[in-house]
Structure formats: structure tokens, C-alpha cells
Amino acid sequence: MEAGMTLRPMLPMVLVILMALAMVALLGLARWRMRGLEAEPGARAAWWRRAGMAALVIAIIAGPSVRASEAITVSNVEIYMLVDRTGSMAAEDWAGDPPEGVENPTATRLDGVRADMASIRQAFPSARYSIIALDSAAAVELPLTTDVDAVDSWVGSLTQEITARSSGSSLETALPQLSQLLAQSHEANPQNIRLVYILSDGEATDGGLAAQEAQSQGWNWQAMAPVVDGGAVLGYGTAEGGQMRSYDGSPATGEHTNADYIPDDQSGQPGISVIDEAALEALAQDLGLEYFHRTGGPDDDAPESFTDLDIQAVLSDGRVAKGSRHYLVWPLALVLSGLLIWELVDLARADRRLRLILRPRRQA
């Protein structure tokens, strides 16, 4: 923190100056009237005390403040989560624990996504969050918000896409939306920290159409990298792959049920989804992020490995740290309070003396 004392008047400076001149005039008049007269005991001390009180009032109104340049706080962190919820994310090859009380206790990739999203949310309780959901299309389902309850609610209600509506997809489907969100954020608040978390199995099922369309419109992951300060690419699934339950939107279908498996288009047998780590690693490299393979097994990195953030390291790119000014009046107010107490005690004593003087006259 770099700090320097400055004045930040609580009132217009002209009024502060006029008040100061008025107090000086009144104090000068009181001092002049004391000259040549026998002042009461303590009168001169009272004058100095009141002069000090007047000076302190003017000093407080003048608004001494500390101008500080502070490290950016967690509340200036924006977290963008791109969540893949295509049918392949319901593949039953997650080694972690499934939720309790389900019909079929076979864990899915989405169980891992929910757990990791909860870890990210817990690591940044004061951050602002935005969630982009990816299936056959991409949509911003949670605009940037500090409402962590809304984040928790979204995570708790996360499901795979309805199988009948699936028409193929890839991560590039969400590239335009995410790029626009980050660009708008950087333009509005360049000092903020933007973290991007991409949670997916990397499997592309659209024949490269989304990638071609994004490229034709000038969108690419590398161009996004300069406005991304951190985050991670989290990849779910295994090389052996897993089968996925079909989902029609009803509670009796989808993951953790005994619904039919989604068939392969060519063989008609239950399809198997395999993670595409090469695509995910390439994406992480393009964004300048680290890639983490998530299986739910004991070899997985702890969530802290992708949620710990060194704020100072992020700011080392030369951006200006957020500035602020803080009033520094409490020492003056403390001294003023002491003088006011002294003044009240002195007035009480003077009132008592006056009562003692007047009492014999009233009795007479």
C-alpha cells in the first residue's frame, strides 16, 4: 500500500475558509475583551481550550485523508464458468462418490463437475460469478452476480441436456459468448481480475462446424488470452470411456437412473464417450491456463491446486491497482472529545459556584 496525506473537505472549501475566519474573529474578540480586565480564575485556560476546540473542528471539516493504492480485493474477482452439459457428460466413468438417495448409485462426470464448481465457489465467496451452459447451443444462464445462493442453486439443478434435442456440439459453440463477456468486462472494469474455468470432456460431436463458424467470424481462444488472468481447464472422463443414460427431462431418466443408455448412431449399441485430452490441453495452452484431468480417483489434484490464487502475481502485469482514500479524523476527534469533556466539567463547576453565590441573596 502506498499512502499520502491529502485534504478532502466535507464541505465546500469556501465554506471551510469562511468558518475558519469567523472562528478566528470570535476568538480574537474574546481575547481582546480579556485584556486590561481581571479575568476570572481559569478564564485564560478556557480561552485556549476553546481555541483548540475551534481549530480541531475546522481541521476535521477540512477532511484529512490517506490516499492509498491497495492490492485488489477478492470482491473484484470475476469468475466465468463454461460448463459442458452435453449427453457425454453423463458418462458413468467418474470414480468419485455419487449423490445419496438415488436410484442408481453410479457416479457420472457431472458429479465431478458439481463437486468442482462447489469448490470454486467456496474458494471465492465474495467473487462475482457468471455461468455459460454448453449443450447443442450455448447460453449465459447466470449473468455476472455476487449472489452465491444463485450459483449454488444452479449447480444443484445441473442436468445433462435432453437427449432428443442433442444435435452435436463442441466447446467452440460457446466461444463467441465467452469472448464477448470477457471483452465487455475488460472494457468496463480493466482493473478487475477475470478467472475462466472450463469444465468439459472435450468431446466434439458437431463435425467441427462450431469451430469453422467461430473462425469465420474472427473468434479464437488465443485472442481471449490477454483478458484472462487465471483459472483452469478441467477435463472429465477416462480413456476407457463410459456409457450415458438417456434423458427426456423427467426424474425417471438421465444420470443415476436405470433409463436406457444413449445408443451409438451407427451400431445401435450403447454409445461410449471418451475424454479428448488433446483438445483440452490445446485449449488450456491457447488460454494460458493449466489443465487438470479430473477422474474422481485418488490421483486427482486437490481442488486447491486450481483455486489458490496469488493476487499480487496476477497484478504483476503492470495494471494499475485500485485506488481509494480514507478519512483520518479519529485522532482529531479523540482530542476534541477530551476537550469537550473538560469544557463540560468546567461549566458544571462554574454553575455550582454561581449557585453558591446567589443562594445567600435569595435567602436574604
pLDDT tens-digit map of 283-298: 999 999 999 999 999 9
Q: In terms of domains, do 43 and 92 share one?
A: no
> Residue 351 corresponds to which cell in the numbers above?
454553575
117 burial type by CB count under 10 A (0-12 exposed, 13-18 middle, 19+ buried): buried
pLDDT of residue 318: 43
Pick left, alpha or beta for residue 160 (phi over 0 → left; psi -120 to 50 → alpha; otherwise beta): beta
* 340 and 265 inside one domain: no
Domain end (from 317, 334, 351): 317
Let me know whether 129 and 257 are in one domain: yes
Domain identity same for 204 and 294: yes
Residue 38: the pLDDT is: 55
- Are 309 and 336 contained in the same domain? no
Residue indicated by cell numbers 485534504: 7
**Residue at a domain's end among 317, 340, 355:** 317
pLDDT higher than 70, residue 220:
yes
Helix axes 175-188, 209-216, angle to 10 degrees: 40
CA end-to-end distance (rounded Å), the chain: 72
307: confidence class by pLDDT, cuts 50, 70, 90: very high
Alpha-carbon separation of residue 110 from 93, 169, 237, 244, 248 (angstroms):
10, 17, 10, 11, 17
Average pLDDT in the 303-325 region?
63
Question: Are residues 232 and 265 both part of a single domain?
Answer: yes
Choosing from 285, 300, 317, the residue where a domain stops is: 317
Residues 90, 157 share a domain: yes
Q: Do 62 and 156 lie in a common domain? A: no
Mean pLDDT of 325-350: 83
- The DSSP result for 11-75, as a single string, is S-HHHHHHHHHHHHHHHHHHHHHHTTS-PPTTHHHHHHHHHHHHHHHHHHHH-EEEEEE-PPPGG
Decide which of 77 and 351 is more confident: 77
- For position 296, which CATH number holds? 3.40.50.410
- Per-residue confidence (pLDDT) for residue 298, from 0 to 100: 94
Per-residue confidence at 321, pLDDT binned at 50, 70, 90? very low
Please say if the pLDDT value at position 362 is more than 70. Answer: no
Higher pLDDT, 202 or 60: 202
Q: What is the predicted pLDDT for the residue at 354?
A: 72
Cβ proximity of 197 and 81 under 8 Å: yes
Per the structure, the complete domain to which residue 37 belongs is given by 2-69+325-363
Question: pLDDT at residue 248 above 70?
Answer: yes
Same domain, 65 and 125: no
pLDDT category of residue 33 using cuts at 50, 70 and 90: confident
44 and 152 in a single domain? The answer is no
What are residue 198's DSSP bridge partners? Answer: 82, 233
Q: How many domains does the chain divide into? A: 2
Q: 17 with 136, same domain?
A: no
- 118 and 205 fall within a common domain: yes
